[in-house]
């Protein structure tokens, strides 16, 4: 049953076409369109204008949501000094054999510059909760969590999550109490503009204004990401979200509203977060969003194309509106190591870079256009960039910000790269690079490093690859631009199964991840790589997308049975902080 509706708000008319399985509604439904007593044959030929407000969108597309008991902003209370006592030693240094580290002493050749910003990151939809509060419109993720059975682990929703929407003052006070210098948050597009375009919601502006002012009050640098995957549902159902070039103007207009509202106090901006993840999420599950005729395999590349156009325009708008700003975007991907020394595996590594980081980084930092491997695929269906678009894309970032969590091996697909590139049915097409986290059998078949939680099967601790990773980024894309590690972090295995608080707080693998990661950045700095900051993911346990509450990335514990209970620092937070106590220039 195709429901075709028009949203009419404050003088704007937004055509919304949404395909829904009729039985998936649990709300009052629009009437079945019938003609002469029988269901019409081609319902798409008919469209019925409805007037929908934000509440109607929730009722129609999402259904009931949970509300927190706490629905007003909580004032911060001082963090007691008893909570700031670091833990005892967390683990023993291994025997000094092989490549392993000897017992640690301060290394006098290492230091973080005085203005190095170390901080923590989060994202609106993962921490805020209060999904319907104060006029927020739904995003695609509200549909995915509420409507798509088993999409999120144990059918979890982010309705309440950390309730950060009301608890941000205490959350900011707690990170400030450990000396954290920067808080990187994302702004919920559908809070600012409930339909993604059109009316601006002043209550949302007020909220983020207060969040930013609270950061400044505590001496924490606010850093804002405009888009962290929470596409306004109205835009997805109107024209397919990032699949349509229409999103470019809407994103730039949203960016303008945010720069105008917050740019007097926020200097650090990221436009989009991890396009290789959110673009590869297309096609979205069928039957829940507007249907698209674009072939599935092409959809991520339409998305990627519009990301480059939207990002580059938002970058130039931002630099014109804010004189002191640093504007970038967040790239992501693990360091790519060839599985063997064969030339095919070396080529697989190059293709993996080209179809992950390079997909956006080559246009933005090198040429204004796609690399040859991506271009060979997309030129059959995407329009080429105009000279004007290329000029806008090239140089549209003031830094190289990378979410650099892990490393993996790459190798050629079965049957070789050439056969894969010629066969669009190959499951690895078009990148045609296979991936594993284990060394080859000749090299012992060991894992690249300790595994994180099984629900984060993409993440292994592989911190010894961080220095070569940072060198690679500098040599390939950043060149003279500063580099930031804009996300990194670790999911302690099986943490969700622990119920004894003190056991949860003692997180040795996450702690060693931060310890070794900080050493790796120090090594890279000592070798001349200009790393200017790093943002740990994350300051609290939160809603980890499809893994929902099944994995924990927090350096603070949150009790999801009652998210309004106090947060608790885990040992890893102290390990992270210690790196700066010891090594940052005063
Ligand atoms: C439909 O929603 C009502 C509350 O609005 C709830 O009590 C009922 O369990 C829901 N039914 C289904 C099948 O989800
Ligand atoms: C519906 O009924 C009217 C009058 O009986 C008739 O003229 C028309 O062709 C019918 N339409 C359809 C789609 O059957
Ligand atoms: C998730 O929802 C589906 C459909 O309602 C149900 O079959 C399944 O048991 C649920 N899973 C959990 C863990 O609740
Ligand atoms: C920009 O820099 C100038 C000079 O350092 C300063 O006065 C001004 O407050 C800064 N603006 C913002 C938005 O930080
Ligand atoms: C929408 O897509 C789904 C899955 O591809 C398909 O089953 C369905 O028939 C499509 N609906 C329409 C109206 O095209
Ligand atoms: C690849 O490594 C093996 C084992 O280390 C070595 O014997 C071989 O010569 C190397 N091949 C090339 C092409 O470097
Ligand atoms: C990728 O490697 C795995 C493990 O060797 C193998 O089972 C799989 O078939 C490979 N995939 C392709 C498409 O080559
Ligand atoms: C293309 O790949 C598919 C899926 O792996 C395979 O079944 C098919 O045989 C391949 N075609 C050719 C011509 O190799
Ligand atoms: C989480 O909160 C519930 C409900 O208050 C409580 O029973 C449980 O012990 C708490 N868990 C931890 C680890 O503190
Ligand atoms: C100290 O740092 C330098 C530069 O990274 C490195 O070469 C040296 O091995 C380090 N010393 C120790 C004892 O780790």
The percent of residues in the chain predicted with pLDDT above 90, rounded, is 85
- Confidence label for 83 from pLDDT (cuts 50, 70 and 90): very high
Please give the pLDDT value at position 293: 85
Supply the residue whose CA is at minimum distance from atom 1 of ligand 1. Answer: 26
- Asked if 460 and 437 count as a contact pair (C-beta separation under 8 A), the reply is yes
Question: CA-to-CA distance for 490 and 149, rounded, in angstroms?
Answer: 27
What value, to the nearest 5°, has the Cα angle with vertex 530 and ends 524 and 535? 80
Residues 409-437 have pLDDT tens digits of 999 999 999 999 999 999 999 999 999 99
* Torsion on CA atoms 168, 171, 173, 179, rounded to nearest 10: -130
Question: CA-to-CA distance for 133 and 146, rounded, in angstroms?
Answer: 17
Ligand nearest to the CA of 344: 6
Cα 547 to ligand 3 centre (Å):
14
Does the beta carbon of 426 sit less than 6 angstroms from any atom of ligand 8? yes
Q: Enter the pTM of the model.
A: 0.88
- Confidence label for 290 from pLDDT (cuts 50, 70 and 90): confident
Candidates 175, 185, 203; CA nearest to 76 is 175
Is a pLDDT exceeding 90 seen at residue 99? no
Cα 64 to ligand 3 centre (Å):
17
What stretch of H or E contains 581? helix 571-583
Residues 197-227 have pLDDT tens digits of 999 999 999 999 999 999 999 999 999 999 9
Does the beta carbon of 71 sit less than 6 angstroms from any atom of ligand 8? no
Conformation bin of residue 18: beta by default, left when phi > 0, alpha when psi is -120 to 50: beta
By most ligand atoms within 8 Å of CB, the mutation choice from 324, 325, 326 for ligand 4 is 324
Characterize the bridge pairing of strands 400-403 and 326-332. Answer: parallel
Does the beta carbon of 293 sit less than 6 angstroms from any atom of ligand 4? no
Supply the residue whose CA is at minimum distance from atom 7 of ligand 9. Answer: 561
Supply the residue whose CA is at minimum distance from atom 1 of ligand 4. Answer: 324
Residues 106-143 have pLDDT tens digits of 899 999 999 999 999 999 999 999 999 999 999 999 99
- Nearby residues of 37 by Cβ (< 8 Å), 6 or more positions away: none
Q: What is the mean pLDDT of the chain?
A: 91
End-to-end CA distance of the chain: 65
Does the beta carbon of 67 sit less than 6 angstroms from any atom of ligand 5? no
CATH of domain 4-97+115-583: 3.20.20.80
Supply the residue whose CA is at minimum distance from atom 12 of ligand 9. Answer: 501
Supply the residue whose CA is at minimum distance from atom 4 of ligand 8. Answer: 426
Task: Classify each residue of 487-503 as buried b or exposed e, where b means 16 or more C-beta atoms within 10 Å of its C-beta.
Answer: bbbbbbbebbebeeeee
Ligand nearest to the CA of 428: 7
Residues 188-205 have pLDDT tens digits of 999 999 999 999 999 999
Question: CA-to-CA distance for 83 and 365, rounded, in angstroms?
Answer: 44
**237-255 average pLDDT score:** 97
Please give the pLDDT value at position 100: 45
Please give the pLDDT value at position 287: 86
Candidates 465, 442, 310, 332; CA nearest to 389 is 310
- Confidence label for 48 from pLDDT (cuts 50, 70 and 90): low
- Confidence label for 90 from pLDDT (cuts 50, 70 and 90): low
Percentages of the chain per state (helix, strand, coil), in multiples of 5: 40, 15, 45
By most ligand atoms within 8 Å of CB, the mutation choice from 107, 111, 531 for ligand 10 is 107
- Confidence label for 86 from pLDDT (cuts 50, 70 and 90): confident
Question: CA-to-CA distance for 285 and 24, rounded, in angstroms?
Answer: 14
By most ligand atoms within 8 Å of CB, the mutation choice from 22, 23, 24, 26 for ligand 1 is 26
Ligand nearest to the CA of 3: 5
Q: Residue 155 CA: which ligand 3 atom is closest?
A: 1
Residues 299-323 have pLDDT tens digits of 999 999 999 999 999 999 999 999 9
Does the beta carbon of 457 sit less than 6 angstroms from any atom of ligand 8? no
- Nearby residues of 31 by Cβ (< 8 Å), 6 or more positions away: none
Collapsed DSSP state (helix, strand, coil) of residue 527: coil
Residues 356-401 have pLDDT tens digits of 999 999 999 999 999 999 999 999 999 999 999 999 999 999 999 9
Active-site positions? 274, 487
- Confidence label for 465 from pLDDT (cuts 50, 70 and 90): very high
What stretch of H or E contains 142? helix 140-147
- Confidence label for 144 from pLDDT (cuts 50, 70 and 90): very high
- Helices 246-262 and 299-321 sit at what angle, rounded to 10 degrees? 30
Question: CA-to-CA distance for 432 and 349, rounded, in angstroms?
Answer: 10
Cα 491 to ligand 10 centre (Å):
28
Q: Residue 425 CA: which ligand 8 atom is closest?
A: 2
Characterize the bridge pairing of strands 34-35 and 38-39. Answer: antiparallel
Cα 432 to ligand 8 centre (Å):
13
Does the beta carbon of 155 sit less than 6 angstroms from any atom of ligand 3? yes
Domain assignments of the chain as residue spans, ordered by start: 4-97+115-583
By most ligand atoms within 8 Å of CB, the mutation choice from 33, 34, 35, 36 for ligand 2 is 36
């Amino acid at each position: 049953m195709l429901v075709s509706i028009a949203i009419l708000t404050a003088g704007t008319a937004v055509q919304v076409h949404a395909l829904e399985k009729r039985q998936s509604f649990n709300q009052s439904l629009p009437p079945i369109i019938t003609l002469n007593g029988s269901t019409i044959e081609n319902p798409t030929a008919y469209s019925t204008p409805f007037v929908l407000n934000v509440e109607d969108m929730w009722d129609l597309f999402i259904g009931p949501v949970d509300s927190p008991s706490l629905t007003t902003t909580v004032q911060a209370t001082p963090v007691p000094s008893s909570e700031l006592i670091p833990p005892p030693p967390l683990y023993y240094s291994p025997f000094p054999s092989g490549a392993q580290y000897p017992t640690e002493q301060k290394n006098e050749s290492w230091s973080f510059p005085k203005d190095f910003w170390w901080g923590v990151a989060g994202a609106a939809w993962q921490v805020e909760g209060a999904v319907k509060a104060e006029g927020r419109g739904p995003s695609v993720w509200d549909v995915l969590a509420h409507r798509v059975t088993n999409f999120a682990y144990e059918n979890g929703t982010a309705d309440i999550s950390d309730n950060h929407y009301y608890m941000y003052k205490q959350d900011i006070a707690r990170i400030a109490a450990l000396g954290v210098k920067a808080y990187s948050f994302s702004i919920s597009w559908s809070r600012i503009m409930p339909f993604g375009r059109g009316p601006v919601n002043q209550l949302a502006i007020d909220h983020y204004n207060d969040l930013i002012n609270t950061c400044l009050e505590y001496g924490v640098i606010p850093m804002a990401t405009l888009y962290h995957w929470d596409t306004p549902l109205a835009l997805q159902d109107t024209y397919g979200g990032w699949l349509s070039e229409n999103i470019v103007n809407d994103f730039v207009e949203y960016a303008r509203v945010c720069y105008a509202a917050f740019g007097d106090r926020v200097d650090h901006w990221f436009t989009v977060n991890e396009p290789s993840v959110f673009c590869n999420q297309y096609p979205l599950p069928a039957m829940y969003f507007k249907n698209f005729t674009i072939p599935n395999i092409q959809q991520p590349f339409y998305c990627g194309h519009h990301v480059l156009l939207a990002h580059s325009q938002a970058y130039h708008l931002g630099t014109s509106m804010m004189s002191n700003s640093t504007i970038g975007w967040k790239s992501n991907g693990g360091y790519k190591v060839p599985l063997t020394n064969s030339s095919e595996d070396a080529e697989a590594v190059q293709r993996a870079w080209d179809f992950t980081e390079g997909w956006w980084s080559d246009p933005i930092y090198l040429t204004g256009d796609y690399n040859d491997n991506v271009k060979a695929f997309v030129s059959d269906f995407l329009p080429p960039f105009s000279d004007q678009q290329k000029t806008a894309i090239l140089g549209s970032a003031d830094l190289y910000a990378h979410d650099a969590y892990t490393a993996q091996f790459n190798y050629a697909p079965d049957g070789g790269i050439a056969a894969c590139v010629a066969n669009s049915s190959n499951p690895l097409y078009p990148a045609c690079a296979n991936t594993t986290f284990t060394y080859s059998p000749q090299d012992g078949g060991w894992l690249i490093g300790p595994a994180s939680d099984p629900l984060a099967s993409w993440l292994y601790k592989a911190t010894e690859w961080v220095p070569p990773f940072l060198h690679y980024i500098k040599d390939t894309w950043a060149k003279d631009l500063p580099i930031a590690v804009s996300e990194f972090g670790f999911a302690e295995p099986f943490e969700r199964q622990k119920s004894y608080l003190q056991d949860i707080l003692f997180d040795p693998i996450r702690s060693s991840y931060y310890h070794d990661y900080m050493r790796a950045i120090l090594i890279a700095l000592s070798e001349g790589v200009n790393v200017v900051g790093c943002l740990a993911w994350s300051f609290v346990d939160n809603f980890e997308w499809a893994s929902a509450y099944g994995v924990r990335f927090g350096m603070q514990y949150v009790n999801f049975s009652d998210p309004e209970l106090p947060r608790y620092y885990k040992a890893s937070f102290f390990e992270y902080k210690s790196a700066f106590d010891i090594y940052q220039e005063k």
